Structure 1
Amino acid sequence: TDDRYTTTRDSVTWQNDLFLSEDLITTIGVDYYDDQVDSTTDYDRTSRDNLAAFLQQQWFAGPFDLQGAVRYDDNEVYGGETTGSVAAGYRLTQSMRTYVSWGTAFKAPSFNDLYYPGYFGMYQGNPDLDPEKSQSWELGLKGGHDWRWDVAAFQTHIDDLIALSEDSSTYVNVDEALIRGVEGTVRGSVAGFDTRLTATWMHTEDEDTGNELGRRPSFKSTLSVRRTFGRATLGTSIHYGGERYDSTANTTELDAYTVVDLTAAWRIDEAWTLRGRVTNLFDEDYQTADTYNMPGRAALVSVTWQPGS
């Protein structure tokens, strides 16, 4: 059979920033999207919309800064949901700042989560899924002069996390899930090369079973290096993803991988630029989901035109 499954989203956002004073900024806005699904499989529902309004307040006072935000979503299927966040920062020195934040979030299942027909009895959607609700906090410190760095500890507690079932047949809600970790970034210049290193250490847990959550590595990192030589810019990125389980059953383990990408650009003139990119340079064979092979080596060449640039 010729099975077909297509989802589309139309969205529009309006936002207005009000500078009430040098130290006070108010942001108000409206966000709307409409999802549709078109498939050879018949579904009870083929479209849904979400209308949201949001308000954010920022306040600056010397070394202190405060931010508060609230958002209300009216989802056609899941009803109304109010979320919000608060954050505070303090400048310790001219080159160092600390901050803390807390917030809540709401995430409705996608049409893929709900209705994807799957194949061979696997990865089928589940129309009975509930939306995710979460609470998160983050504590961070950033600073530096020629070299900039930042490090942050984070934790997220999620109710009804949408995840692959233990037998990979469908998607289910994990009653209570925990994600916590530390992320660090350092960036600067080495012998004229712009360099950026990001690393994340993460612990995940299904709090009902104690198992790790699926498809989330305990460690991942990216090293990016770029340099401009006259009209030419050359760069490379090295991505590392650690071992992870495919699902909360913790029975199928996916291997770690390292992928190298190359980029190049040639500024032809003020408006035209020739760009090239090679992804997965060494043709690494790896998977981020069981049975789904990631693309091998690929090359892309493009020309961009930016009049007036």
Structure 2
Amino acid sequence: MRSISVLALVAALPALALPAHALAADVDAPTEVDQIVITAGRTADKLSEVPVAMTIITAETLRQRQVVVVSDILSRTPGVSVTRNGGVGGSTQVRIRGAESEQTAVLIDGVKLNDPSSTGGGYNFATLLAGDVSRIEVLRGPQSTLWGSQAIGGVVSMITKTPDGPLSGDATVEGGSRATAYGRAGVGAGGDWGGWRLAAGSYTTAGISNFDQAMGGKEKDGYHNTSVSGRLDVNVTRDIALDARASYAASRNEFDGSSPAPPYGPSDSSEYGKTKELVSYLGGRLSSFDGALKSRLGFSYTQTDRDNYDPTLTPAKTFDARGTDSNLEYQGTWTINPTWRAVFGAATDRSWFRTASFPYDPTGSRHAVSMDSVYGQLQAKPAEGLTLTGGVRHDDHDTFGGATTYQAGATWTPNGGATVFRANYGEGFKAPSLYQVYSPYGDPNLKPEEAKSWDVSVEHSLLDRRLRGSITYFSRDTKNQIDFLSNNTPPNYGGYANTAKTKADGVEIEGSFEVNALLTLSANYTNMDAINKSAGPNYGKDLARRAGESAAANADLSLPNGLTGGISLQYVGHSFNNASNSQRLKSYVLTDVRIAYPINDTFELYGRIENLFDQQYETIRTYGTLGRGAFAGVRAKF
């Protein structure tokens, strides 16, 4: 692993104060004994009984950090790196532990988000705003046994607000630099019968030049996003419940196209894209055998439409794509007795895509694939403080065939929870995307990408859990990774093939310290080697755009009069923009400060300055990044 930089070591000091583990408890609630998490086992589990490495971002964290763009808070999470093509709205990649962006499984209320029409079939975080999200669970390491394809790097799971109690609502309005304006509102109610909630939001910004201003970019690229969502839960009887959810977002992002002459990088242009995303779910739940068996049957449907335009051309449309995914799934959770529990299920999934570019490929490609899956995981508690889990999954794809993945893990709390040891082995796979199989560059004989990973960790708490820390070591090997291979053979001059191998290993450190009732400190640090293991000239070199070091630190202050404030530091070490490591991206430090004050029980004023010292940096070569920005707003609850 890499040597630890002084800045990163300082940022991680709260975690280095004691032994720790990588399955982080919420650093913003250090006195909480044991949270309940959902994503790790597809059912409610105590955090201390989950063997996989995960970080929880709570509603309070989202409120304190004044989060608008989800990828911004993810970039400060251990083991996670984020790159973006320019300002807000530009194509955004989230990589977990050095895996590819399309190897991250993304969920919202359990529904997997992906774009079957994109090149790698992954999810673009560009359009994802915090909106009605109340909690984010980030699982690190391969998770395909329970979550199927794409979960090689890990899982990002978002959980939206649940209606509860009498009619109530909340709203946020803010504005600031770069002609940015953001507003959102939600209202709902719930009771013994169930509940309902409706929410809507809008975001707009004049943006920056996606083509780096330092390289001559002058024309600003704006972004606009409007979203609506709703959910309905109905308790038909004590043992039967129905639920329906839907969300829709429409966005417009301006971007800079590529120069037609060397070096073929981005250049100022008037091009723009429109994206429409629909996520829907309809399901039912049944509790039987006095609650010992809980069953869920659900159908989800997602659709992504993307269109690009160049106003200087006639016709203006240059790209047209649509991807849909429909999934029918049964899941059962059987509490056999206090010692044994089983989670099992079966699913059938159908993905379809259409894509065309103008004027070069107006007919484009369209195709569909199906995949059937069965999975099961058994949890045992054979002794006090010891939890064991093991799982297996088999997926049958109608093109590449079958894939079987395994998982095994253990947690041990020998002294009532002050110390928790964890060990986990997990496997992941990613099915070839529709584009990689059926586009003019595709190959129907591609194999799925496969990964094997293990990690060990320890957590410890002191001072009545006011001081907590965690440390983990992880290692992952990926094979059959799909890359585009260039050649001199017309008409495509290349195509996709299973040629790449990668390896990633490293250490993640996290910690928090509730100094007193007024001040809480928290920090994390990641030291990682993500290496190309493919035969050829790039063997042994760093994978592109993955920093070897990253760290984040937070200080949160809460005064008796209700005034709250804080400061956040983010350090990202150097990385390389390309596979040959000939283009180096410099390390950088970002500083944010924030403050909030409740006027009364209904209204709260808040403000923040992002990138306080106007740090100039790049996450992708020749693409601009956001400089200093100031924002202020008001939040209301009623």
* Structure 2 counterpart of 1:57: 378
> CA offset at residue 109 of structure 1?
4.7
Deviation at 1:163, TM superposition (A): 6.0
Correspondences of 1:161-240 after superposition (within 5 Å): 161-162=481-482, 174-191=499-516, 192-207=518-533, 208=535, 209-229=539-559, 230-240=561-571
**Map of 1:121 onto structure 2:** none
**2-side partners of 1:156 and 1:227: how far apart?**
38
The 2-side partners of 1:90 and 1:26 are apart by 20
Structure 2 CA distance for partners of 1:291 and 1:74, relative to 1, 3 Å:
farther
Give the C-alpha shift of residue 184 in structure 1.
0.8
Match of 1:73 in 2: 395
Which secondary structure does the structure 1 equivalent of 2:613 belong to?
coil
SS of 1:210's equivalent in the other structure is: coil
How far off is 1:113 after superposition?
A: 7.2
Asked if structure 2 preserves the Cα contact closer than 8 Å seen for 1:3 and 1:39, the reply is: no
Aligned length: 298
- Give me the whole-angstrom Cα distance separating, in 2, the residues matched to 1:248 and 1:289: 13
State how far apart, in whole Å, the 1-side matches of 2:453 and 2:391 are: 14
Aligned partner (choices 104, 122, 144) of residue 461 of structure 2: 144
Partner of 2:8: none
After superposition, the C-alpha distances for 1:71-120 in whole angstroms (9 at most, x for unaligned) are: 2334455443221210012224331121211111012355687899xxxx
Can you give the 5+ residue segments of structure 1 that lack an aligned partner in the other structure? Answer: 117-124
Other structure's SS at 2:626 match: coil
TM value normalised by structure 1: 0.79
- The separation in 2 between residues aligned to 1:164 and 1:262, in whole angstroms, is 43
Cα separation, 1, equivalents of 2:467 and 2:596: 25
Equivalent residue, structure 2, for 1:45: 366
Higher relative contact order (CA 8 A, sep 6+): 2
Which moves more between the two structures, 125-134 or 211-220?
125-134
The structure richer in strand per residue is 1
- Structure-2 residue corresponding to 1:120: none
Matches within 5 A, 1:1-309: 1=313, 2-6=317-321, 10=325, 15-30=331-346, 35=351, 37=353, 39-41=355-357, 42-45=363-366, 47-48=368-369, 50-60=371-381, 61-75=383-397, 77-94=399-416, 95-109=418-432, 127-128=442-443, 130-145=447-462, 146-162=466-482, 174-191=499-516, 192-207=518-533, 208=535, 209-229=539-559, 230-267=561-598, 276-299=607-630
* Distance in 2 separating the partners of 1:274 and 1:149: 33
CA distance in 1 between partners of 2:372 and 2:604 (Å)? 40
State the distance in 2 between where 1:248 and 1:179 align: 15
**Does the 8 Å CA contact 1:7/1:35 hold for their aligned counterparts?**
no
Q: Which amino acid aligns with 1:284?
A: Q
What amino acid sits opposite 1:225 in the alignment?
Answer: A
Give the partner amino acid of 1:99.
R
Residue 211 to residue 63, structure 1, CA distance change in 2 (3 Å): same
State the secondary structure of the residue aligned to 1:184: strand
Partner in structure 2 of residue 119 of structure 1: none
Q: Deviations over 1:159-178 (max 9, x none)?
A: 03356879xx9987553211
Give the TM-score taking structure 2 as reference length.
0.41
Deviation by residue 1:104-153 (Cα, 9 ceiling, x = unmatched): 1012355687899xxxxxxxx95347532100000111111221111111
RMSD: 3.5
Q: For residues 221 and 109 of structure 1, do their structure 2 counterparts lie closer, same or farther at Cα, with a shift above 3 Å needed?
A: farther
Give the superposition deviation at 1:30: 4.8
Please report how far the alpha carbon of residue 283 of structure 1 lies from its aligned counterpart in structure 2 after TM superposition.
Answer: 2.9
Contact 2:442 2:495 in 1 (8 A): no
Amino acid at match of 1:135: K
Q: Which moved more, 1:59-68 or 1:104-113?
A: 104-113
Q: Which amino acid aligns with 1:184?
A: I
Whole-angstrom CA distance in 2 between matches of 1:223 and 1:264: 17
2-side partners of 1:8 and 1:187: how far apart? 42
Distance 1:87 1:272, change over 3 A: farther
Q: Which has the higher helix share?
A: 2
Measure, in 1, the Cα distance between the counterparts of 2:347 and 2:601. 37
Question: Conserved in 2, the CA contact under 8 Å of 1:174 and 1:206?
Answer: no
Q: 1:162 to 1:251 in 2, by over 3 A?
A: farther
Q: 1:53 to 1:253 in 2, by over 3 A?
A: same
SS at match of 1:134: strand
